[in-house]
């Protein structure tokens, strides 16, 4: 695909059980990414300029599962797969961030 | 770290030998990421608002190893670890993209 209008990065970092930082992996990030990829395919989001990429650690592990959207640099945290549709509809397609899911401004 | 001024994403996708798409992994991306992380630490880039994250596939596998910088959405390709210092000095700290390393505009 050409340069996307919105590039969505989803942390898929895992760490061993008991690791002091925890991880988005331990908090269910894979289900979030899977849901996003599934909806991306069924709703043809790539053709609408939306790209999805899994990443290593994005930094604020405590607030995971984390999802980061560029170019605007907006980070969502504490996500469940049920939140994905709202992020697509409101933010990615509608241009309106989902306030209730934003990582607190003191963290990001 | 707080929200970075520059967020550098380095593809670390690997695929099995002989895979038709190839991969940044097969082309030496880990050496690029390792060099970037090493210089990031020694030059204290995080304190200057520069964050580095490894990612899955960024899409244009043929042009890898790929490195993508947001918020500007500039992608570099065909990188070697020897190119990392120039990207740091010219682009990340100097604000001037390194033209010779850019992925062609028809690809990204």
User: What is the ipTM score, two decimals?
Assistant: 0.95
Instruction: Give tens-digit pLDDT for A44-72.
Output: 999 999 999 999 999 999 999 999 999 99
Q: Which of A1, A58, A71 sits opposite B70 (nearest CB)?
A: A71
Judge whether residue B1 has pLDDT over 90: no
Q: What is the pLDDT of residue A2?
A: 81
What's the whole-number mean pLDDT along residues B51-80?
A: 97
Which of A92, A81, A100 shows the shortest CA–CA distance to A36? A81
Cβ-based neighbour number of residue B21 at 10 Å: 11
* Strand-pair category, B67-70 with A50-55: unpaired
Q: Which of A4, A54, A108 sits opposite B55 (nearest CB)?
A: A54
Q: Is B90 helix (H, G, I), strand (E, B) or coil?
A: helix
CA distance to A1, A74, A76, A90, B95, per residue, from A7 (Å): 12, 11, 14, 15, 21
Q: Residue A7 pairs with which residues in a beta bridge?
A: A51, A70
Cβ-based neighbour number of residue A13 at 10 Å: 22
Could you tell me the domains of chain B? 51-107 (3.40.30.10)
What's the whole-number mean pLDDT along residues A64-83?
A: 98
- Contacts A52 to B, Cβ<8 Å: none
CA distance to A55, A74, B64, per residue, from B28 (Å): 18, 31, 9
B70: burial class by Cβ within 10 Å (0-12, 13-18, 19+)? Answer: buried
Residue appearing with tokens 């401004």: A105
| Cβ distance of B55 and A3 shorter than 8 Å | no
Find the residue in A nearest to B71 (Cα).
A71
Q: What is the pLDDT of residue B19?
A: 93
Torsions phi, psi for A43 (to 5 deg): -100, 5
Instruction: Kindly write down the DSSP assignment for every residue of A65-101, as one continuous string.
Output: S-EEEETTTEEE-S--GGGHHHIIIIIIIT----GGG
Q: Which of A2, A4, A108 sits opposite B2 (nearest CB)?
A: A108
Q: What is the pLDDT of residue B2?
A: 81
Scan residues 25-64 of B and list those with Cβ closer than 8 Å to A: 51, 53-59
Tokens of B49: 């608002």
CA dist B37 and B51 (Å) reads: 9
B56 within 8 A of B13, measured Cβ to Cβ: yes
| Cβ distance of B73 and A12 shorter than 8 Å | no
Q: What is the pLDDT of residue A101?
A: 98
Instruction: Give tens-digit pLDDT for B6-49.
Output: 999 999 999 999 999 999 999 999 999 999 999 999 999 999 99
Instruction: Give tens-digit pLDDT for A8-58.
Output: 999 999 999 999 999 999 999 999 999 999 999 999 999 999 999 999 999
User: To the nearest whole percent, how much of chain B has pLDDT over 90?
Assistant: 96
Mutate to test the interface with B, among A2, A3, A61, A108 (most CBs of B within 10 A): A3
Rg (CA), chain B: 13
| pLDDT tier at B99, thresholds 50, 70, 90 | very high
Judge whether residue A7 has pLDDT over 90: yes
| Cβ distance of A73 and B3 shorter than 8 Å | yes
């Amino acid at each position: 695909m050409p340069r996307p209008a919105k590039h969505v990065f989803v942390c898929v970092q895992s760490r061993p059980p008991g690791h002091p930082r925890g991880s988005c992996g331990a908090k269910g990030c894979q289900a979030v990414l899977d849901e996003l990829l599934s909806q991306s395919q069924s709703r043809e989001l790539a053709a609408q300029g939306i790209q999805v990429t899994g990443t290593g650690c994005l930094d604020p592990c405590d607030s995971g599962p984390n999802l980061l959207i560029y170019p605007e640099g907006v980070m969502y945290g504490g996500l469940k797969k049920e939140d994905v549709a709202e992020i697509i509809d409101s933010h990615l397609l509608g241009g309106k961030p989902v306030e209730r899911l934003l990582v607190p401004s003191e963290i990001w």
